[in-house]
């Protein structure tokens, strides 16, 4: 994974620089997300890896799928990725782009893993609490993991708050093991 990120970084930086130059961070984010979704599709991976398809044909195929959702510069960027045989890194490029975008916009990514689906009120309460604590805007990603039994795990950067029943049971088990 580190190798992919290392290879994808110059492309993400180039896309970010272009987005800044155009003043269209949001649009570039959407376009890169679309490319990421397309390239992550199992059937599309087979097309990308098809040796019978020229880079021009592959680029045209991707451009046809995207339709008018790609700007002229994003279409050129896609062509560069295809020609360099890096289109398969679209997801990594998107992730790196989003990290740079979040840093510039002062947004922190927060992952909330819960045993059960959270309702909007719970998500808003967590969002407000973390936003106030960090003094930043946040972007919450929620995920369910029934193995937690109950409670939540919250990840912000390198910090992790484990308020799950599974985590508490592990702590209790280690106390009894001593």
Q: Where is the domain boundary, 102, 128, 161?
A: 102
Residues 118 and 30 in one domain: no
Which pLDDT value is given to residue 156? 84
Residues 12 and 98 in one domain: yes
> Residue 27's domain is classified under what CATH number?
1.10.520.20
Which pLDDT value is given to residue 37? 94
Residues 49 and 98 in one domain: yes
Residues 47 and 115 in one domain: no
DSSP 161: E
Residues 79 and 135 in one domain: no
Residues 97 and 112 in one domain: no
Q: Tell the residue number behind the tokens 């009120």, with chain if given.
A: 121
Residues 22 and 97 in one domain: yes
Residues 18 and 81 in one domain: yes
Residues 31 and 85 in one domain: yes
- 102: which residues sit within 8 A by CB, 6+ positions away? 108, 109, 139
Overall number of domains in the chain: 2
Which pTM was predicted? Answer: 0.67
Residues 163 and 84 in one domain: no
Reference 36, options 96, 100, 76, 80; nearest CA is 96
Q: Tell the residue number behind the tokens 């819960």, with chain if given.
A: 114
- Tens digit of pLDDT at every position of the chain (178 positions): 458 889 999 999 999 999 999 999 999 999 999 999 999 998 898 898 899 999 999 999 999 999 899 999 999 999 999 999 999 999 999 999 998 998 888 888 889 999 888 899 999 998 898 888 888 888 888 999 888 888 889 888 778 888 888 888 888 888 888 7
- For residues 96, 99, 104, 105, the Cα torsion angle rounded to the nearest 10 degrees is 130
Residues 93 and 138 in one domain: no
Which pLDDT value is given to residue 173? 82
CB atoms under 10 Å from CB of 138, counted, come to: 20
Which pLDDT value is given to residue 2? 56
Residues 83 and 131 in one domain: no
Domain that holds residue 120: 107-177
């Amino acid at each position: 994974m580190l190798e992919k990120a290392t290879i994808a970084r110059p492309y993400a930086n180039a896309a970010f620089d272009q987005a800044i130059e155009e003043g269209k961070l949001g649009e570039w984010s959407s376009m890169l997300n679309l490319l990421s979704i397309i390239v992550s599709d199992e059937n599309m991976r087979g097309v990308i890896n098809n040796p019978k398809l020229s880079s021009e044909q592959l680029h045209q195929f991707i451009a046809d799928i995207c339709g008018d959702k790609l700007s002229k510069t994003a279409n050129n960027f896609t062509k560069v990725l295809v020609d360099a045989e890096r289109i398969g890194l679209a997801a990594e490029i998107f992730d790196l782009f989003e990290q740079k975008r979040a840093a510039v916009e002062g947004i922190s990514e927060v992952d909330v893993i819960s045993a059960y689906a959270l309702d909007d009120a719970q998500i808003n309460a967590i969002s407000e609490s973390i936003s106030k604590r960090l003094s930043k805007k946040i972007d919450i990603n929620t995920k369910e993991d029934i193995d937690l039994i109950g409670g939540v795990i919250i990840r912000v950067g390198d910090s992790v708050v484990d308020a799950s029943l599974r985590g508490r049971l592990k702590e209790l088990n280690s106390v009894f093991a001593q």
